[in-house]
Structure 1
Amino acid sequence: MPIVSEATLRERARTFFQAELTKSLEVAFLYPTDRTFDKDVEVSWLISRTADLRASLASQSFSADIKVDAAELLDSSNPNYAAPISDQMRYACNLILRAKIENSRILKAQLEGDYQSTGATDPWYAGLTATGLPPLPGEKSEPVSSPTLGEITDKFVASKIKHDWAAKTAADVKRVIKLACALIGDQKPMSSVNTDDVKNFRDALAALPPNYMKLALKKGTSPQEAIESNSGGACLSLKTQDKYFTMFRQIFIWAAAEEHIDKVPGANIKVAGIKTVIDGEQREPYSEAQLTKLVHSPLYSGHQSEKCRYKPGKLLRRDGYFWVPLIALHSGLRMGEILQLRKSDLKQENGIWFFDVNKAEDKKLKTHSSKRKVPVHQALIELGLLDQMHSVPPASRLFPEIKKGSDGYYSHNFSKWWGRFARHMGFASPKTAFHSLRHNFIQALREAGQLEYVNKALAGHADKSVHAQYGSAVPLTILKAAIDTVDFKLNFSHLQP
């Protein structure tokens, strides 16, 4: 007998149950109008039938008719059922028995006019209803067209790309959709996607190897193959699982809002263990020892060549690779915010130089609160940043040598370079990354005793306090005074121009 997954069996059993409900609805609607129909006899038989089915379920003894229906769930055309019965056959028999018990109870309630008791209460079949009355003899049933998962996801992506998403977000969600269609089936009617499908998607995320979403789908490896070959191996981090699961859920939230489906399936399903992420997977600031390794590395003391900045040499290029880490450390700007800066974004107001972080053509912001003015730290001025920037053409990016990656973002290639460089220099660790420099900056602000609303203004974090709703933005003079208190007790004398 071929192996069929439990999820597939449950889905087939739900289809079987709906078909049984439809037949019962015909009995409840049409039979009472037949003068030869005796309702009391039918109700009595249903009570006896339900009791027999429950006894069979309790004793796990299955009659031939139950096995026949179970074999259909298993795609088995073999009339000679294996003895002793297999675990899979036993599971299918349980599905059939519970469907028949529930259907008998509902039909009894319908015949007695108790329609308040006709909702499916068995957890395996909750929420299912009859698909409508079967056609009368001689009538032709008109098939009801239901949009498939693949059709709905195409509409979802098109709508979000037009109105909401940046290119990187679109690429991430498309990978999630491709995985969802591989696990659930892109031809499955959207209205039939249920809680079990949502659970299976969540559980698959917990078992997939790292980078599967980016690599394996392109190579044609199915999720099931990847999970089987990864038994006991490394898996996606909880944060990544939660990120992808949230993207997956957005499909159904959108579909419900657009009235393609009645409700969001598995609305209360969550990634198991996500609450433990707060302490376990957060990025940490670089330690003083790690920062010392950075500022005294060949990147700042002299390197072999432009492409080999981790080996000592006589070349010292003061380009984007030189400045971007220093700016991040002394301003808290995100990698993407720095790399997309233009010459025109380096401005002066009342004698204060600042980075104008804004959204424009070919420039993106993470959130609305990311738009801000961040004064240039005095340490960067003393290291010659402003003098060097005077030579940059007005319409140019500050660091034109750092090109866009395949995802359309300047951070793509630089992030990979930074990871390799950190490993070569010996300051890489599991809980640190380039973003750790931003953590260093915010931590330094707090250690300097700066007020939290000032810290939020510099970091581009939304201030949702009541006081923040009054008045205008934090004055540049206050931001400049605050940012210049940031001191990492590092020796930058060798970096003087």
Structure 2
Amino acid sequence: MTIQIHTFRRGAIYTWRKRLPAKLGGGVLQLSLRTSDPLIGRRIAAILGGESCGVIDAMVHQGLSKEDARRLLGAVIAREHQKIQNRRLAAAEAGHERSWQQAKSYDWAVGKALTLLAERGASACPLTDQDRDSMRDEGRTEAEIAAVQTVLEQEARTYAEDPRQGLNTRSLRLMREELKRQEFSPLELLHGRQIYYRGRGAALLDMSAEQAVTEQASDLAAELARAQVCSDPPVAIEAAARAEATPSAPSVATAPVARASLNTGAAHAVPCEQPAYDPQLTALVARLMDQKRRQGMSGGMILQMTRVFALFVEATGVEDVRALRQEHIAKFVDTLQLLPVHYGKSPKDRGKPLRVILENARGQPVGLSATTINRNLDYIGQLLIKGRSEGFRGLGDLDPNSLRQRKTKRDRDDRPPFTAEDVQAIFRHPVWHGFQSTGRWQQPGNMLTKDGFYWLPLIAALSGARRGEIAGLKAAEIGTVEGIPCMTLHINRNRGLKNLTSARVLPLHPELLELGLVDHAESRLAKGGRDADLFPDMRPKTLPSVEDAADDDEGGKFGDKINYRFNKLVDRQVTANRAKKTFHSFRHYVATQLGRLTDVPDQVRKDILGHAGSSITEERYTETSPLAAKLAALERLPRLPL
């Protein structure tokens, strides 16, 4: 909504914006007025409109001086001239048929592309129909015009980036060498880069036409004596805003003008105060993982995502985020479909190069599941979002979701739950009734050990909690809340949680109390204090971390130690439809059992399992279910045969 010229409402807040002249790249200078009051908005906008005219006029003349521009341009042309001569000499020595003519043709194509970039910025790509017609009128072939388009596509990506990064540092290095300075203003950097491209283009075009070029430096320098725009807030504009926000105008003082930002239409208008982030993919991954860690993501999830990103880099060979293209994501998906179906399950695979893993997979079942591929694409999407938030351009065109795989079966069938009969059969095992010895734990006997292997399946079957959540409990996290014995699942020194909704307090099922879980916790507290692990035998030899992942068979996460024995136990006890049932099937079992209780509210089930609400009302405006309601639901889970 417009309330006066250059002033618009975005949401509830008014914004002032003005298109810049072509000499400044044709971008848009935009400032938030930080007010929802139209009267205040009009008042500040009027001041900004008047002050901006003088400021923008000054911006046009704040680039390199004419003398510096002439000196820099002369150096660019001289260097490019020498490089052209060297290439021509090499082509002549090669002796290939028409090599000299081909070299001239290519020099013209590159020179034309660079000249267009210097004139139009990154928006020079792609060529317009008028451009193509003009080149045809010059007598250029379709192959030469296609070569111009190819060079434009390559160079425009560089031109759209910060002039201090990547290949753009070529112009910065030359400026430092020729102008004998180390520091340049943002406007000077943009101006210098434009001269660099214009000079190279002029040299190539004129050499391809067999004309001398060095005498043109002076004329071109005068023509190029104009500057580009920077997003630093003009002093006069800020001064106007400060003058308006004085004690004499208290209504405006509460709505200070924000610092200027540039929504640039010309890709070469680069914000000068934008933080310089390392463009290496590994550095971007590290920053994303630091962010996830601050948000409370579990160490296991961070480790999993980091391994996916490492695989992406190895599969595509891309190391710089600015070089990412859609075809790289497609190549990554192709690689996932060639990996062995059990890729990543064995610690021995982690140190092997990808090419070795792919070679060893020949003749074996290959192709990760649609669920795994789609999850990995979700991770790539999060990485792209992080890159865009840091200002890396071009990532908005990448679309991992377009490569998502169609599932061939329902999610509920991907990891089947234990049935009620399965659970009853599992807990008839000697582990919970007495076994012969440590080595003969599957045979009935008189030995009963209430260790982690004893407790983890019990708690999972009577709460629906995840294995890692249970295994990493501290003894102090078993206690009484509101008069109800509970376990508190929060991030602790042993492990994180899968997501924010995973943090919860769960009442203990009466059967767990009867079996002595609270007594076990009190015993551990008495021995080790409040930092004591509830199940010390579940502590891995190496705790999970991105830098130091465990490579032993016992794994690097709390709960990994029971994998082998638990699978053996299930093999013995569950004879019907055993395939793909794992420890996590307890969680699905509890969800299924609670889902069949029609009088239990859906929100109570979600709060027990740590699932997010299905709407913004549930997620933001609904409090967690009372402990009494959770206990009433959990008490209705089938009792175990103990």
TM-score normalised by length of structure 1: 0.67
Q: How does 1:76-115 map to 2 (within 5 A)?
A: 102-103=146-147
The question of whether the paired residues in 2 share the 8 Å contact of 1:193 and 1:265 is answered with no
* Equivalent residue for 1:155, pick from 273, 283, 292: 283
Q: 1:18 and 1:319, CA in 2 relative to 1: closer, same or farther beyond 3 A?
A: farther
Which residue of structure 2 aligns with residue 22 of structure 1? 110
* Equivalent residue for 1:313, pick from 441, 445, 465: 445
Gaps of 5+ in 2: 1-104, 119-131, 160-166, 168-196, 204-212, 218-276, 545-555
* Equivalent residue for 2:537, pick from 395, 401, 409: 401
Q: CA deviation at 1:468?
A: 6.2
| 1:211-236 deviation per Cα after TM superposition (whole angstroms, max 9, x unaligned) | 44465764544337615743562322
Which residue of structure 2 aligns with residue 282 of structure 1? 414
The question of whether the paired residues in 1 share the 8 Å contact of 2:468 and 2:558 is answered with yes
Q: How does 1:332-411 map to 2 (within 5 A)?
A: 332-393=464-525, 394-395=529-530, 396-404=532-540, 406=542, 407=544, 408-411=556-559
SS at match of 2:368: coil
Q: 1:313 and 1:279, CA in 2 relative to 1: closer, same or farther beyond 3 A?
A: same
Q: Does 1:458 align with 2:608?
A: yes
CA distance, structure 2, for counterparts of residue 341 and residue 151 of structure 1: 39
Q: Does 1:193 align with 2:344?
A: no
Q: 1:360 and 1:174, CA in 2 relative to 1: closer, same or farther beyond 3 A?
A: closer
CA distance, structure 2, for counterparts of residue 305 and residue 20 of structure 1: 84
CA distance, structure 2, for counterparts of residue 308 and residue 19 of structure 1: 80
Q: CA deviation at 1:308?
A: 4.7
Which residue of structure 2 aligns with residue 418 of structure 1? 566
Q: 1:211 and 1:20, CA in 2 relative to 1: closer, same or farther beyond 3 A?
A: farther
Which residue of structure 2 aligns with residue 202 of structure 1? 333
Letter in 2 for 1:409: K
Letter in 1 for 2:378: T
Which residue of structure 2 aligns with residue 35 of structure 1? none
Gaps of 5+ in 1: 1-16, 31-38, 51-96, 108-117, 140-148
The question of whether the paired residues in 1 share the 8 Å contact of 2:489 and 2:502 is answered with yes
Bigger radius of gyration among the two: 2
* Equivalent residue for 1:440, pick from 572, 576, 589: 589
Letter in 1 for 2:582: A
Q: 1:281 and 1:232, CA in 2 relative to 1: closer, same or farther beyond 3 A?
A: farther
Q: CA deviation at 1:241?
A: 1.9
Q: CA deviation at 1:159?
A: 1.8
Which residue of structure 2 aligns with residue 112 of structure 1? none
CA distance, structure 2, for counterparts of residue 29 and residue 127 of structure 1: 7
Q: 1:298 and 1:26, CA in 2 relative to 1: closer, same or farther beyond 3 A?
A: closer
SS at match of 1:154: helix
CA distance, structure 1, for counterparts of residue 588 and residue 300 of structure 2: 24
Which residue of structure 1 aligns with residue 228 of structure 2? none
Which residue of structure 2 aligns with residue 429 of structure 1? 578
CA distance, structure 2, for counterparts of residue 232 and residue 287 of structure 1: 32
CA distance, structure 2, for counterparts of residue 162 and residue 220 of structure 1: 26
The question of whether the paired residues in 2 share the 8 Å contact of 1:209 and 1:227 is answered with no
Letter in 2 for 1:335: R
Q: How does 1:31-46 map to 2 (within 5 A)?
A: 43-44=136-137, 46=139
Which residue of structure 1 aligns with residue 72 of structure 2? none
Q: 1:19 and 1:161, CA in 2 relative to 1: closer, same or farther beyond 3 A?
A: farther
Q: 1:23 and 1:353, CA in 2 relative to 1: closer, same or farther beyond 3 A?
A: same
Q: CA deviation at 1:297?
A: 1.3
Which residue of structure 2 aligns with residue 262 of structure 1? 394
SS at match of 2:384: helix
CA distance, structure 2, for counterparts of residue 481 and residue 300 of structure 1: 26
SS at match of 2:281: helix
* Equivalent residue for 2:423, pick from 273, 291, 297: 291
Pairs aligned (count): 393
Which residue of structure 2 aligns with residue 110 of structure 1? none
- Which has the larger displacement, 457-466 or 332-341? 457-466
| 1:394-419 deviation per Cα after TM superposition (whole angstroms, max 9, x unaligned) | 52222222222543421222344423
SS at match of 1:366: coil
Q: 1:222 and 1:431, CA in 2 relative to 1: closer, same or farther beyond 3 A?
A: closer
Q: 1:24 and 1:219, CA in 2 relative to 1: closer, same or farther beyond 3 A?
A: same
Q: CA RMSD in A?
A: 3.9
The question of whether the paired residues in 2 share the 8 Å contact of 1:340 and 1:410 is answered with yes
Q: 1:311 and 1:426, CA in 2 relative to 1: closer, same or farther beyond 3 A?
A: farther
The question of whether the paired residues in 2 share the 8 Å contact of 1:208 and 1:227 is answered with no
Which residue of structure 2 aligns with residue 92 of structure 1? none
The question of whether the paired residues in 1 share the 8 Å contact of 2:279 and 2:320 is answered with no
Q: CA deviation at 1:203?
A: 0.8
Q: 1:220 and 1:324, CA in 2 relative to 1: closer, same or farther beyond 3 A?
A: closer
| 1:59-118 deviation per Cα after TM superposition (whole angstroms, max 9, x unaligned) | xxxxxxxxxxxxxxxxxxxxxxxxxxxxxxxxxxxxxx6xx56447x69xxxxxxxxxx9
> What percentage of residue pairs aligned between the two structures are identical?
22
The question of whether the paired residues in 2 share the 8 Å contact of 1:21 and 1:103 is answered with yes
The question of whether the paired residues in 1 share the 8 Å contact of 2:488 and 2:504 is answered with yes
| 1:94-150 deviation per Cα after TM superposition (whole angstroms, max 9, x unaligned) | xxx6xx56447x69xxxxxxxxxx997xxxx998798945363679xxxxxxxxx99
Q: 1:379 and 1:259, CA in 2 relative to 1: closer, same or farther beyond 3 A?
A: same
The question of whether the paired residues in 2 share the 8 Å contact of 1:204 and 1:227 is answered with no
The question of whether the paired residues in 1 share the 8 Å contact of 2:341 and 2:365 is answered with no
Which residue of structure 2 aligns with residue 485 of structure 1? 636
The question of whether the paired residues in 1 share the 8 Å contact of 2:301 and 2:498 is answered with no
Q: 1:304 and 1:200, CA in 2 relative to 1: closer, same or farther beyond 3 A?
A: same
The question of whether the paired residues in 2 share the 8 Å contact of 1:405 and 1:413 is answered with no
